[in-house]
Structure 1
């Protein structure tokens, strides 16, 4: 406590230095508070309506962008160097001749002072700017509003155009790939034209089918050869029989040689037709099954007619002698017909055998050919699918672009047009005056304290002993006269008067600000 009291007495000794510094700082602060120019704020409010009636109706037909996110991103990126440069030209801030450094300083100043505030939930944006010139502030906000609206439309159209250009380039690329795949597929089919089958069966299925046809033809050939041998043996037996054979045995032998040429001709025609069908279809085909059924019906009919002819021959023995010659003629005709059928079946077997051998040779390269064909078809289908998807996306992008032109990304409504506040928003001169007063008082105290530290004075012996660490031999007292006492009292009054005058100066300045503010409000 004693140390604080000693410090206060030393500071009080240099009070006039402190008062002078306080007055100097106070006057400078007071003048500066009034010289700082007023700044007027211009603001505007915009409501962004992101709802559109057309967009729900076009769901699934066009790309639906996230409009809220686009507008939010636009508001965050609106204050950028290109937009600020555009704003300077629109607001005529570039009319004054400026150096490159001044232009950069102006751009930096605008980027720091322009503000875009939003409530977030209601899509309500407030654009504000303050400037010493209210007209300049208003022009800047008007230009910022125009840039805000135009940037949203321009960005959407630019995105739509960029997307369409990119999709068109991709379509051209895949169109070239598709044409190249089609060309490769065509060349492959021309190289392997002999392997192409209209039914779409693979080589293994075709080989199995040829094997069935060959086996069937061999079976029919063996049946025809057996029938031919039987007819030849029967004809030779007829020629070796004597004329003295009994009528009953003659009729019995003739009954074995009864023929039906009309039915045999129809059966031969149906069998040839069945062979042709089996070369193209399987056994389950309706035409094959119908032909087989007709052949069975004719064979049953032939059996019935042969039995009827044998019965008639046995019932009329008088005609046996003449029947022997007719039987021999009929057997000769049947033998010739059998020879022809055997020759035809041999040619068919040889043809099927040749085809089967060629198919077996083709089987050696068939897997590689089929694998190549599968690869070509897969590449073609992939390119075709991508091409069709890109074409569909291009149409969707075109519809989306037309939708944005018709309905717009969003509806920008100017709730409050740009206006300038009648009162300046800055500076706060009351705060400046208070700060100036505080700085004056602080400066005075600091000056007195600094002087007391530079030229210290000791008022107590103990304080001197503690500072110098030397013994004090004695103390000389000072007798203050009455005139000295009056001088000290007068000096205190003058100091208090000077301090009061400083406070009154600041009080008068604040009173003047109150009057000025009241007049501006009126």
Structure 2
């Protein structure tokens, strides 16, 4: 099929439709009337809307940065907006607008909730901080009440959730502070009791560790042994002089010692004892040795006082007494040094016996110290966070970190948002015309008319010899003219009705 044949076919279709104008007009009238009547019976639905702006750019936020808790306000508002149309909030809206009073059964209440969920919308603009709340219902007053209720919930949740989060955080931190305070006190007591129990074994105690104490003890033992050896030598020398074994030393050993000298010696030892007691306990070896020496000197003094008798001034009696006093002093000093050495040996043996406990004590002490440091650090951190949360709570209570500004409050709508009757009337008119044309085209296909020479030749397969022209008379032309007038009036009436409908609703919308 070439282009000429296609144009002939389309021309034939157009001729079929044009030859049946009443089919087109009557069908268009019927379809349009049915459509417009149905449009008028569609119940009106009114949409109430409100716009709210969420301002989270508070001046206090940069000023208190690093001091208070700074929540992500934009994220919280986004989450809150996404969860606003939830069942608990819808039930709350139903109670606030008395819609729950219309529901007598649970099934009716479910339908109320479903209607709210279906017709409520919350949209965010491209800026992200401007939200539109809209609701559609047959009752315009109810639509406004629903939007107002949801707007109230939106604002209350935005302010209340932040305060609730801060309060919950404060309560949690306070509970943790109490727990860590108990743990810290327990760790302190454990550490104190451990130090008391293991006194002398603690690492770094009194500026020395265990091995330093061992070394010092060995040095003191060697020094005491040397002093003891010297004291024993002096004692033995005095014994030999008194027994006459070494008379040549008798003259050299003579000293001017007498009872006043013993008293002076005792007084000096007592002063030394007082000095030692300021630094050490009574069990300290030097204190024990000094006490023994004082006791020996006092016993010697008493013995000499009892045995003293009047002397004739001869030399041998005085020398004997002086040697005897020196022997007593040397003996007492040797005994004191021996006791001191024994005490050092005992302490040294005790330290050596504690060698196996040193690593265990150090390990346990490190564990206790580590626990104490951890508890203390966490306690101080929680204390700082608690103050920060407290300040944040006061800031939330006394200032508005998030400010909700209602740009467009909800109002009672005067015109319905659905259906859009001007648009629907236009669609019905267009559809009616299309239906009329389609019906005329369908009839033309069912009852085709021969319109051209080619059509006859195609149907009969015979060549066309000639054409007889129909000559219309005056009466036929008059009828045809009248028919066209009626057709125009009928089609014009359809558009007049359409224009009336459009004028009515457009004027209502303008008001």
Aligned ranges for residues 367-382 of structure 1 at < 5 Å? 367-382=359-374
Partner-residue secondary structure (3-state), 1:42: strand
Contact 1:91 1:136 in 2 (8 A): yes
Matched, 1:420 2:426: no
Write the distance in 1 (CA, Å) between the matches of 2:137 and 2:357.
87
Structure 2 gap ranges (5+): 282-312
How far apart are 1:87 and its partner, in Å? 1.1
- In the other structure, the counterpart of 2:28 is 22
1:510 to 2:499 alignment: yes
**Pair 1:214-2:209 in alignment:** no
For residue 127 of structure 1, the aligned residue among 122, 133, 137 is 133
RMSD of the alignment, in Å? 4.5
What do residues 239-293 of structure 1 show as CA deviations (whole Å, max 9, x unaligned)? 7259xxxxxxx9xx4587456657755665576678778868xxxxxxxxxxxxx
Spell out the pairing of 1:66-77 with structure 2 (5 A cutoff): 66-77=72-83
Displacement of 1:363 in angstroms is 0.8
Alignment of 1:7-156 (within 5 A): 7-10=10-13, 12-13=15-16, 15=20, 16-50=22-56, 62-97=68-103, 103-104=109-110, 106-117=112-123, 123=129, 125-156=131-162
C-alpha distance in structure 1 between counterparts of 2:170 and 2:433, whole Å: 71
Of 438-447 and 134-143, the range deviating more from structure 2: 438-447
Task: Kindly state the Cα deviation for residue 351 of structure 1 after the two structures are TM-superposed.
Answer: 1.0
Contact preservation (8 Å) 1:114, 1:129: yes
CA 164–449 in structure 1, closer or farther in 2 if over 3 Å, else same:
farther
Aligned residue in 2 for 1:318: none
Q: Which runs of 5+ in 1 are unaligned?
A: 243-249, 281-320
CA 1:209–1:26: 2 relative to 1, 3 Å: farther
2:355 maps to: 363
SS in structure 1 opposite 2:48?
A: strand
Secondary structure of 1:128's aligned partner: strand
1:386 to 374, 378, 385: 378
Alignment of 1:116-515 (within 5 A): 116-117=122-123, 123=129, 125-167=131-173, 170-171=176-177, 174=180, 192=198, 199=206, 202-232=209-239, 240=247, 253-254=251-252, 257=255, 265=266, 268=269, 326-453=318-445, 459=451, 472-475=461-464, 479-483=468-472, 494=483, 497-498=486-487, 501-502=490-491, 504-514=493-503
Aligned partners of 2:33 and 2:228: how far apart in 1? Answer: 136
* Greater relative CO (CA pairs within 8 A, separation 6+): 1
2: distance between equivalents of 1:492 and 1:227?
170
Q: Deviations over 1:426-484 (max 9, x none)?
A: 44333222222222233333334444555666656766888x9xx92344866353359
1:12-43 Cα distance to aligned partner (Å, 9 max, x none):
42545444443333223333444444444433
Give the 3 Å change call, closer, same or farther, for CA 332–97 of structure 1 in structure 2.
closer
SS at match of 2:432: helix
Structure 2 length normalisation: TM-score?
A: 0.73
Q: Is the 8 A contact 1:43 1:420 kept in 2?
A: no
Question: Structure 1 stretch 254-263 or stretch 29-38: which is displaced more?
Answer: 254-263
Question: Any conservation in 1 of the 2:97–2:145 contact (CA below 8 Å)?
Answer: yes
Q: Structure 1 length as normaliser, TM-score? A: 0.72
**Aligned CA distance change for structure 1 residues 438 and 213 (closer, same or farther; 3 Å):** farther
Aligned to 1:284: none
Is the 2:29–2:494 Cα contact (8 Å) retained in structure 1?
no
